Every structure is written in C-alpha cells, then in structure tokens.
Structure 1
Amino acid sequence: MSDENAASGEMPEVEIPVEETNEGIESIDPTAALRTENAELKDRVLRTVAEMENLRKRTEREINDTRSYAIAGFARDMLSATDALSRALITLPAETRETGDATTKSLIEGIELAEREMQRLLAKHGVKPIEAQGEKFDPHVHQAMFEVPDPSQPEGTVVQVVQPGFLIGDRVLRPAMVGVAKGGPSHAPASEAVDKSA
C-alpha cells in the first residue's frame, strides 16, 4: 500500500494475481485476490491504530507539560517579589530588630511572614530552590558571576550564592547566581583517585 493512498484515505490499488489457462487466456484467482486485499486492509488498520496511539501519548505528554509549566512566567514574577522581601529583611540592622518599638517589630514580623508564605505557595506549585552552596559548579543550574581565589576549596566549588536559583518541575526557572572557587585542588572523581603508596 502506498503512503499517499493511506494518507488521503483512498482505497489502495490491489494487484490481483492471475493464472494462465491452457488456451493462453488469463483468469483471476478470487481467493488470492481476497487474501491480498485482506493483507492490505489489515496493514492499513494496524498503521491507523499505531498513529492513534502515538497521538494519544503525545497529547498526554503535552497536557502534563502544560499542567507543570503553565505557571512558569507567573512564578518567575513572584520570585522577584520574594527577593524584594528578602532584601528588605537583610538590610534591617540587628539592633533594630531587638531594640525597635512594637510597631517596628510587628512590621518586621509581617514581612517575614509574607516571605515565608510566598515561599510556601511557590513550593506548593512545584517551585523548589536549587542547592548551590558548597556544590560543584553546574552550568545547567548555576550562573557564575565571579571567581573567588580560595586554595582551601576545590576549584569549581560554589563558595558564595549571590541570588538563589529555582527549578519548576525538572526545568530551571532561574539559575542560581554564584561565586566559584579558583585556585584550590580540582574536583577529581573517586574512580580516578589512585593509592600511590603501594
């Protein structure tokens, strides 16, 4: 069966076997013709079933992706608001927290509560922070902002997190902006560590 016939829905052209009789006149074998037509139709049905199954799987995948990642833009915007609350808390001097009047302390507690609630809501919708501090630099989830000369840390280790990163599902929503150690021993996989004392 040609693919053009299958795509257009036309009946395929069927080659009908013929037999030559003693007189040289050709006759059509009806059983062979039916078998050929049956094989063609069976092939067509199997192809259609396979196409429908592929379409079902693809649609299911697209629906799951849409459910998981539809809020990515909104979540990215919410991270900006959460960052602003975090910066507000960081800039407050410690003595203001302890010696401030009741109104100031209530304001600080309200900001902390709002930040925690926003983090909780992001986590509820699949947004989770990227672990960066002390990890080996991974360009897929980290964005290097600067290098820190630190011989005590293995080269390529994240030693400072400037801005936390986040994932939504298994995709990067925002990479972690980090400072990376330079000058220390390089990361060596455990399989390459060789005991040279023997």
Structure 2
Amino acid sequence: MVDVPHGHDAAESMTAPPKAACAESAAQASPGPLQSELADTRDKLLRSLAEQQNIRQQMQRQREEAVKFAASQLAGDLVDTLDNLRRAIESVPPDAADHASIGPLLKGVQNTESNLLATLARHGMQRIHPLGAAFDPHVHHAIIQRPDETAADGTVVEVLQPGYTLHDRVLRPAMVGVAVRGKRESGPAAG
C-alpha cells in the first residue's frame, strides 16, 4: 500500500521542484564563491591565450625582419666597392674612353658596376638618387649649402656621394649639397 500525504503537505510535494533543482537555481541566481572563482580562472586563461598569440606574432615579425635584413652588414660593406667602381669610371677622361686599350677596360668596369647594382637590387638594395629632390634628413646628409637662384630653397643640387637603402632602411645616407636662396655666409652645413 502506498502512503499518500494528505492535506496541505500533499499539494506542496506535488508542485515543489526537487531540492537539487532548487540548489542549482539558487546558485545561478546569486553567484557564489565557486562561480566567481570559475569566472576568474576563465578570464586568466583567456588572457594567457591572448598573450601567447601576441608573443607568437611578435616572434614571427622578428624572424621575418631578421631574414629580411640578415645581409645588411654585407650590403653595407659592398657600398664601398660600388663607390670605388664609380670612381674608376669617372676617373677616365671622356676623350680616352675611345682609346683601344682603355675603352674595353672602362666598358668592363661599367658592366661590373651595372651587374653588381642589378644583383643587389634583386635582394632589396637600391641607390638613392636625390638630385633635384627636396632635402630629406632621413635619407640625405647635407655637407654643403650652395647659393642657387634657379633651385628652390632646400633642393638637392649636388650629390657628393650616393646613398643606399636596403628594403627601405637606410644603409648610408646620400651626402649632398643643398640649394639656398640669395647670398649665404659660410657656416656649418644644414642637417
């Protein structure tokens, strides 16, 4: 025989949810120390994962930059060789360039310079051609100021030594002469 509760107790037991369900809903309604700790731990985990991702991305950028600029020391050393080739070419007088013994030698030096520049260009190195450009202290080094009424103030009017970049990073700034308007007293160069 089944014992059935009578009266008011019977109605409560029929409509009341089980005690476990009450405890769960009470825990959701007011977060206890366990929920707070769980949320805190979850927040720490997400922050840690984000930090790890940032570190991975930073290491990837550093690795790519290291590969990109690994040859910068070699490229910087080759700048002197390019300067010497250019000096050799410019040292030949124009009338001697057609001479039977000098002409082929000059042509060989010009071809060597051209091939070296092309090879370096394939690897990201470029010669800076500033003549006629506005003076830029990031890529030019002003050695002299020259009065020039035909050029705008601050325009590069003379290149004393070419500059070079490697992947848009300056290896050596171009040494230049900069135009100034009117009479200029001699003094220290700009830049």
TM-score interval for Structure 1 and Structure 2 normalised by the shorter chain: 0.7 to 0.9
Q: Distance in 2 between matches of 1:109 and 1:177?
A: 27
Structure 1 runs, 4 residues or longer, greater than 2 Å off: 31-34, 103-106
Q: Secondary structure at the match of 2:32?
A: helix
Instruction: Note the residue ranges of structure 1 that are not aligned, 5 or more in a row.
Output: 1-28, 185-198
Structure 2 CA distance, aligned partners of 1:170 and 1:61? 16
Amino acid at match of 1:81: T
State how far apart, in whole Å, the 2-side matches of 1:131 and 1:105 are.
Answer: 27
Q: Find the aligned partners of 1:68 and 1:172 in 2 and give their Cα distance.
A: 14
Residue in 1 aligned with 2:65?
65
Percent of aligned pairs sharing the same letter: 38
What's 2:158 paired with?
Answer: 160
TM-score normalized with structure 1 length: 0.73
**Over alpha carbons, which structure has the higher Rg?**
2
What residue number does 1:51 align with? 51
What root-mean-square deviation, in Å, do the aligned CA atoms of Structure 1 and Structure 2 show?
A: 1.7
Question: Where in structure 2 are there 5+ consecutive unaligned residues?
Answer: 1-26, 183-191
Match of 2:76 in 1: 76
**1: CA distance between counterparts of 2:129 and 2:93?**
27
Amino acid at match of 1:53: Q
**1:155 match: secondary structure:** coil
Between the aligned partners of 1:128 and 1:60, the Cα distance in structure 2 is 26
- Count of paired positions: 154
Q: Residue deviations 1:69-93, cap 9 Å, x none? A: 1111110111110110111010001
Greater relative contact order structure (CA < 8 Å, 6+ sep): 2
Deviations 1:112-169 (A, max 9, x none): 1110111011111111122311111111110001011111211111001111111111
Q: Does 1:96 align with 2:96?
A: yes
- Hey, what does 2:41 align to over in structure 1? 41
- C-alpha deviations, 1:12-48, integer Å up to 9, x for none? xxxxxxxxxxxxxxxxx7x723312211220121111
Matches within 5 A, 1:172-187: 172-183=170-181
TM norm structure 2: 0.75
